């Protein structure tokens, strides 16, 4: 996506670095008009002048950096828009139990009563496609139907249809309820892990299905305070590679991976849940390439060799080193200690590019520009010192201050 500046005066402001606030405002406004969450934490990455009157610039968000995604070229006249997956009138494109699901007041409505209960959790399934990397935004309202205040529902994604006759789905669920605890969590429906991330948790699950809480997004009760009881709230789900994010009314509730989108009606006492303004956005090809490479990088890697400043790195310096990548975070373990950081990949460039941001050690807080190539079991990277130009090839010289390391996947 690209954003055109047709005003030469504004072009000069951007080139001088003082027009970024206006850029951020335009970006946020364009996103709001398209029905996307407005984001103002933008950073000017680079620019490209096509002629004296037209000017492309590229900006990104902190969220994009964290997700390891390609940052966007923006053009408000040609922005990829959300796809509406509900026509606001009937259930065309959706499949579920007609005794439980209907459209009322322009909203998809799932309702159980004492006379018409749900016999087990049942889902209204979107039938017009599947989704890989995506952002989903909708409004929801959940109302209990008895004095006990019960009401439970959710949005299934990267899920499988387990029983088509009874509309049973299993997989990742963005949860919601009428109570004070579960709205915004990540739950694994009809699988083994149950609650994968409680509200406010940043979580990493390893290949052995062990859960590790690695950070906090805020206290659960504080996030609950932003949720309107028995009223309309906005739910955002962003899924890129194996990285999942939930937002309620703009506040992130979990930070935790593929293909059926469905809406849930929970078994139990009478209740009603409604959904409206359901919109889906899939990233452009550049973002999908980012997700593909990010997936390839997951796991543990051992160095097999390298060079720095034109000379081979002694094997003893690399012995015992293991780099483990989870999401867009890495941990480098050596005998001397452990270093951590995050990275952003831009695979549509040639050679493919990566920015590394150490979160420990002497380069903490800096950005190391790098290029990389990755295969199923091999990974090579060439990186430069902070503020140095990005490497152009996988080679070093005595005065280059570059370093190249080749890795193999740890079995």
270-290 tens-digit pLDDT: 657 787 877 776 655 555 566
Residue 114: the pLDDT is 84
Burial of 373 (0-12, 13-18, 19+ CB in 10 A): middle
The number of beta carbons lying within 10 Å of the beta carbon of residue 213 is 12
Question: Mind listing the pLDDT tens digit for each residue in 378-393?
Answer: 999 999 988 788 999 9
Residue 35: the pLDDT is 42
Residue 265: the pLDDT is 57
Whether residue 355 contacts residue 369, with contact meaning beta carbons closer than 8 Å, is answered with: yes
CA dihedral 142, 147, 148, 154 (to 10 degrees): -10
CA 135 to chain centre: 8
Residues of the chain below pLDDT 50? 1-81, 258-260, 264, 266
Which residue, 129, 142, 158, is CA-closest to 276? 142
Nearest-angstrom CA–CA distance, 369 and 352 = 11
For the chain, list the domains and their CATH numbers: 3-73 (no CATH), 83-283 (2.60.120.560), 289-409 (2.40.128.280)
Residue 82: the pLDDT is 65
* pTM for the model: 0.54
Where does 164-259 show beta strands of DSSP type E? 168-177, 186-189, 194-197, 201-205, 211-216, 233-240, 243-248, 251-255
């Amino acid at each position: 996506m690209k954003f055109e500046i047709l005003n030469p005066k504004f072009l000069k402001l951007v080139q001088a670095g003082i027009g970024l606030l206006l850029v951020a405002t335009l970006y946020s406004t364009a996103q709001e008009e398209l029905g996307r969450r407005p984001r103002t934490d933008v950073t000017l990455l680079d620019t490209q002048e096509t002629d004296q009157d037209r000017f492309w610039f590229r900006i990104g968000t902190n969220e994009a950096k964290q997700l390891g995604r390609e940052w966007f070229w923006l053009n408000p006249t040609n922005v990829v828009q959300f796809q509406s997956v509900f026509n606001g009138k009937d259930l065309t494109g959706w499949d579920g139990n007609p005794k439980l699901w209907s459209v009322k007041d322009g909203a998809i409505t799932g309702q159980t009563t004492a006379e018409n209960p749900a016999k087990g959790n049942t889902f209204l399934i979107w039938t017009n496609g599947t989704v890989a990397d995506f952002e989903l935004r909708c409004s929801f309202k959940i109302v209990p139907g008895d004095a006990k205040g019960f009401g439970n529902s959710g949005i299934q994604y990267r899920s499988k249809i387990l029983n088509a006759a009874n509309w049973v789905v299993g997989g990742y669920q963005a949860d919601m309820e009428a109570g004070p605890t579960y709205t915004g969590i990540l739950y694994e429906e009809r699988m083994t892990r149950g609650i994968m991330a409680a509200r406010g948790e940043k979580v990493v699950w390893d290949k052995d299905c062990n859960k590790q809480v690695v950070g906090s997004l805020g206290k659960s009760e504080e996030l609950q305070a932003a949720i309107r009881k028995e009223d309309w709230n906005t739910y955002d789900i962003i899924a890129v590679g194996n990285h999942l994010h939930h937002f309620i009314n703009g506040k992130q509730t979990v930070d935790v991976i593929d293909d059926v989108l469905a809406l849930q009606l929970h078994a139990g006492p009478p209740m009603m849940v409604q959904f409206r303004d359901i919109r889906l956005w899939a990233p452009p090809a550049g973002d999908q390439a980012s997700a593909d490479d990010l997936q390839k990088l997951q796991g543990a890697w051992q160095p097999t060799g390298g060079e720095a400043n034109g000379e081979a790195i002694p094997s003893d310096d690399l012995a015992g080193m293991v780099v483990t990548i989870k999401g867009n975070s890495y941990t480098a373990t050596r005998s001397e200690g452990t270093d951590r950081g995050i990275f952003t990949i831009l695979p549509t460039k040639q050679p493919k590019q990566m920015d590394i941001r150490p979160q420990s050690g002497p380069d903490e807080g800096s950005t190391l520009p790098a290029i990389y190539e990755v295969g199923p079991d091999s990974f090579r990277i060439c990186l430069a010192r902070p503020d140095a130009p990005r490497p152009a090839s996988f080679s070093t010289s005595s005065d280059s201050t570059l370093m190249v390391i080749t890795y193999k996947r740890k079995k």
